[in-house]
Amino acid sequence: MTLLRLIGPAVIALLGVAAGLEAAQHEGLRAIRERGYLRVCADPQNLPFSSSNPATPGFEVELARLVAGELGVEARFQWNLTYVRPLRPLRDGACDLFMGLPRDERFTEGNPWLAVSRPYYVMGHAIVARADAGIATLADLSGKRVAIEGAGMGDLYLNDRGIERGIYRTQDKAFAAVVAGEAPAALLWLPVAAWLARGKSEVKIIPIAHQDLEFPIGAGVRRRDRDLAQAVDAAIVRLGETGRSQEILRRYGLIPTPGARRRPDGVILVQAQSPVELGRSLFSTACSRCHGAEGAPGGTGGAIPVLRNYDGGKEKFVRIVQNGRKNTAMAGFKGILTTEETLAIYQYLTALGKQ
């Protein structure tokens, strides 16, 4: 029997009030600026949205850092698995901001203590199709067995239209079914589809613009923190006007790159990234902090090698990246970058001109 059960519900309630009063003293924009950092709720294992791994932080983490910067502070992350009462840390004052919440009246009515900022992107769905399946629109799914995560929006959408569904436990498994040839297509959240399709030329990603399959996404704060809510709204506007938020979203495949091919019916066809394009994106996220943009100038004082001049061969490159180098600052990325992703970085670097 725990201590909380022994002291009884009435005392727990009083402690909760006291804790709430104490937390309130450390909340709001003024308190955040006084301490110098914004506490952000985030899932440590939820790519492409968020990750506690600095090599692959996820777009929500990158955006939260920009928002914090606009407020004049740094972002510090309160890691909490989203399938374990995800909003409770925000509600109880353990953090100040929760990225990636739907700006939807039904959602905020169910959480009256919560306020969601203006949206910074629209969460949509995408068809993941085998390149040879002849699928380009939602209409092309008719008569086919479509891989889907059970009980999600995409599942309900296809069921209402009488389209056969292959039910999988997760979106990752539905995607894998397409890659393995078990299904000609899947209907997934666009961020997940774009992330899983990196470097896989056998599939194509077709973003879908349909009101039943998309909703705007903003950042959540406690409703009582009105000054913080206003500041976050203003930060999101500024980041949009300068294009900094779009650059992150584009890098993660959530908005089309300039020149993307648009069909007459409005569907934007986004092919999976080539290995060189994937390598550029991965290098920017995982390597550029130490090795500099585009593999140059090679770190502070030239102590770090100029990677764009690397000529040791791909096998050695993969071995170094995966295992690291002893007695240096080069840590191993095994478990962070796959062999395929490491080879994509190698192809990107070797495609650059040497200095």
Taking the C-alpha atoms of residue 2 and residue 4, their distance in angstroms, rounded to an integer, is: 5
Third-level CATH fold of 24-121+215-242: D-Maltodextrin-Binding Protein; domain 2 (3.40.190)
Read off the pLDDT band of 265 (50, 70, 90): very low
**275-351: in CATH 1.20.1630.10:** no
Q: Write down the pLDDT at residue 55.
A: 85
Helix (H) or strand (E) holding 29: helix 28-35
**pLDDT tens per residue across span 247-259:** 898 888 887 655 4
Per mean pLDDT, which range of 8-22, 229-243, 339-353 is the poorest? Answer: 8-22
Look over the chain and give the mean of its residue pLDDT values, rounded to a whole number. Answer: 81
pLDDT at 147 over 80: yes
Helix then strand then coil, in percent of the chain rounded to 5, is 45, 20, 35
Per mean pLDDT, which range of 17-26, 272-281, 300-309, 313-322 is the poorest? Answer: 17-26
Q: Write down the pLDDT at residue 14.
A: 33
Q: At 118, which amino acid appears?
A: R
Read off the pLDDT band of 355 (50, 70, 90): low
Q: What is the mean pLDDT of residues 166-194?
A: 94
Q: Write down the pLDDT at residue 108.
A: 86
Who wins on pLDDT, 319 or 70?
Answer: 70
Who wins on pLDDT, 285 or 211?
Answer: 211
Q: Write down the pLDDT at residue 69.
A: 97
Does 24-121+215-242 match 125-213 in CATH topology? yes
| Strand partners of residue 101 | 218
Q: Which two tokens stand for residue 216?
A: 């705007």
Read off the pLDDT band of 269 (50, 70, 90): very low
Per mean pLDDT, which range of 12-16, 109-113, 236-240 is the poorest? Answer: 12-16
Asked if 158 and 165 count as a contact pair (C-beta separation under 8 A), the reply is yes
Q: Write down the pLDDT at residue 277.
A: 67
pLDDT at 6 over 80: no
Helices then strands (H, E): number in the chain?
Answer: 15, 15
Long-range contacts of 233-240 (CB under 8 A, 24+ apart): 233/117, 233/118, 234/70, 235/66, 235/67, 235/70, 235/71, 236/67, 236/117, 236/118, 236/120, 237/118, 238/70, 239/63, 239/66, 239/67, 239/70, 239/120, 240/120
Read off the pLDDT band of 221 (50, 70, 90): very high
Q: Write down the pLDDT at residue 257.
A: 54
DSSP codes, 295-346: G-S-SGGG-S--GGG--S-HHHHHHHHHH--TTSS----BTTB-HHHHHHHH
Q: Write down the pLDDT at residue 88.
A: 93
Taking the C-alpha atoms of residue 254 and residue 326, their distance in angstroms, rounded to an integer, is: 38
Q: Write down the pLDDT at residue 335.
A: 67
Q: Write down the pLDDT at residue 117.
A: 94
The residue ranges of every structural domain in the chain are: 24-121+215-242, 125-213, 275-351
**pLDDT tens per residue across span 302-318:** 456 677 777 788 888 88
Q: Write down the pLDDT at residue 43.
A: 95
Read off the pLDDT band of 191 (50, 70, 90): very high
Which CATH number describes the domain made up of 125-213? 3.40.190.10
